[in-house]
Structure 1
Amino acid sequence: MTIFRLDLLRHGEPQGGARFRGDGVDDPLSDLGWQQMWSAMGGEDLPHALPWTQIISSPMQRCQSFARRLAECTGLPLAIESRFREVGFGAWEGRTRAELRAQGPEYQAFFADPVNARPAGSEPLEDFYARVIHGLGHIQQEYADQHVLLVTHAGVIRATICYALDIPLKAMYRIKIPYAGVTQVEADQMGLSLMYVNRLQGLAP
C-alpha cells in the first residue's frame, strides 16, 4: 500500500513579534524563531536521522531561510512552492491584534466569519483554500510514496486540517498553530488522514 506522509512545520517567530503577516509582509526570523525551528528538529546538531526524502518551502523568507539551511545541513533536496505562501491579509498586513481591536468591530467580525468578513484588499479565503489544496494534490502525486517536510505558515496548516477533516472554512481560525509547531497528515487510497497537530520538539524518525 502506497502511503504519502507530510509533515507541515510552521515557521518560527519573525522579527517584530506577533502581528498579521500574510503574503505582503515578510519579516525574517528572529533569534528566538531560529531556536524554535531547530528545537523542532531535536537540536541544531541534528542528533538523529531525519525521516524525510524531500523538503518543500513557502517562498517567503520566514520559511525559506530555514528550509534552505536545513537542506544544506542534511543534503535533502529542496523545492520552493508558491502555492504554500500565507493568505493575504490586505489592509491588516503588519498590524497587531491590539491595533485592530481598537479600531472597532471589524476584528471580531473577522473571527466570527472569516469567509465573508475579510479585511479590505485581502485574498478571498476560498481562493486561498483552493490554491493550498491544489498544491497538496500536486505534491501528493509528485512524491506519492515519500515522507515530505513542508515549511510553511499557520494558514496553510489550518487549511490542510480543514481539508483532512472536512471542517468548514468559517471555523478555520479556531485552530491554533504555534510557532514551529508540526502537524502530520497521511494519504492512502482511502484519502487524507490527520495524524497529529502541533508537535513542538524533537521530531522522531
Structure 2
Amino acid sequence: MTDTSSPHDRGGPDRGTGWNVVTAPPVTTLLLRHGDTPLSPQKRFSGVSEVGLSADGVAQARAAARRLAERGGISAVLSSPLRRARQTAEIVADGLGGCPVAVDDDLRETDFGAWEGLTFEEVRAAWPDEAAAWSSDPAVAPPGGESFADTLTRLQRVRARVVDRLPAGTVLLVSHVGAIKTLVVMALQAPLASMHRMFLDSACLSEIDWFRDGTAVVRAFNDTAHLRDAACDCASRGREIGNARR
C-alpha cells in the first residue's frame, strides 16, 4: 500500500528547522490557551483566580476539540490546575475520545497578587511605580505575586518533564497566556521581556517541536482557524500590546 501521509504526519525530515539534520523525531507540544471567562472581555488580571469558562469560552473549547480531533495523534493531555484550563482540557479530552487529563501544577498562570481582578488601568492608578517597573523588568513581581522570571523557572520544569521523560509524539498542554508565552520564549531563546510583544487569543493553538539535542522549532503561534465557524463571538477582545496579564 502506498503511504499517502505527509512527512509532517510521519514525524519525518521536515520536522526540523530546514537546516539541521533530524536524527530522531521530536516531542511536539500543542499549546492551547483556555477559552474565554467572564473576566476576559473586561481585560482583568486573572492569574491564579479561580474563574470558570463563560458560554463563549465553552463554545471556543468545543471548537478547539473538533480541530484537535481532526488533527489526531495526541498521546497525552496535560492541564493547568486552574478551573478555566481544566474545563477546556476536559472538553477537548472528551472530543478526543475520553483521553485522560493529567494536571500539572506548574502549568498554572502567573500569580498577579494584589492585582488579581483589576484592570491594568486600575493597577496603574493605584501602583504607578510598581506597574511601570513590572512592565519593563520580568524579574519584578506584582505586590504579593509572582514575576515572569519565577514563571520561567516553573515552565523549565514542565519542559524537562515533557521533553526529557516522554517518548516522541504529540502532547497537548492546556494553559494560560503567561505560561504559553514563556514556553515560546524558551523555544526561541528570546529575551523574556519579548513576551510583552506577543498576543494570544482565547482558545488559540501554538505548536513547538522539542528535539533531544536541545533544538526547538516554533511551528505555529496564535492559530485561531478553528474559531472562525464557532457559534460564538470568538473575536479577540481588546487587542492591546502585551496581554500577558489576562
TM-score range, shorter chain: 0.7 to 0.9
Structural RMSD (CA): 2.0
| Per-residue Cα deviation, 1:68-105 (whole angstroms, up to 9, x for no partner) | 23323422232110010011111111111231233334
Runs of 4+ in 1 over 6 A off after TM superposition: none
Distance in 1 between residues matched to 2:212 and 2:93, nearest whole Å = 30
**Alignment pair present for 1:85 and 2:104:** no
Correspondence 1:156 to 2:179 = yes
Q: 2:221 aligned with 1:197, yes or no?
A: yes
Report the number of matched residues.
Answer: 199
Q: Which amino acid aligns with 1:195?
A: R
- Say which of 22, 26, 46 aligns to 2:50: 26
Q: Which letter does structure 1 place at the counterpart of 2:56?
A: L
- 100-109 or 71-80: which moved more? 100-109
Which segment is superposed worse, 118-127 or 76-85? 118-127
The offset of 1:47, in angstroms, is 7.0
Amino acid at match of 1:198: N
Q: Which runs of 5+ in 1 are unaligned?
A: none
Stretch moving more, 33-42 or 152-161: 33-42
What is the CA–CA distance in structure 2 between the aligned matches of 1:57 and 1:40, rounded to whole Å? 15
The answer as to whether partners of 1:41 and 1:201 remain within 8 angstroms in 2 is no
Number of the residue aligned with 1:7: 30
Alignment of 1:1-205 (within 5 A): 1-17=24-40, 18-23=43-48, 25-42=49-66, 48=70, 50-73=72-95, 74-103=97-126, 104-116=128-140, 118-190=141-213, 191-202=215-226
| Structure 2 unaligned blocks of 5 or more | 1-23, 228-246
SS in 2 for 1:126: helix
Identity of aligned residues (%): 30
Deviations 1:144-189 (A, max 9, x none): 2110111100001111011011111222222111111111000123
Deviation of the 1:35 alpha carbon? 1.4
TM-score normalised by L of structure 1: 0.88
- Residue equivalent to 2:230: none
Is contact 2:27-2:211 (8 Å) kept?
yes
Q: Which has the higher helix share?
A: 2
Write out per-residue CA displacement over residues 109-168 of structure 1, whole angstroms, 9 at most, x where no aligned residue. Answer: 32222323x211111332210111111110113322110111100001111011011111
Report if aligned partners of 1:86, 1:153 keep a CA contact under 8 Å in 2: yes
CA contact 1:182–1:197 (8 Å) conserved in 2: yes
Structure with greater contact order relative to length (CA < 8 Å, sep ≥ 6): 1
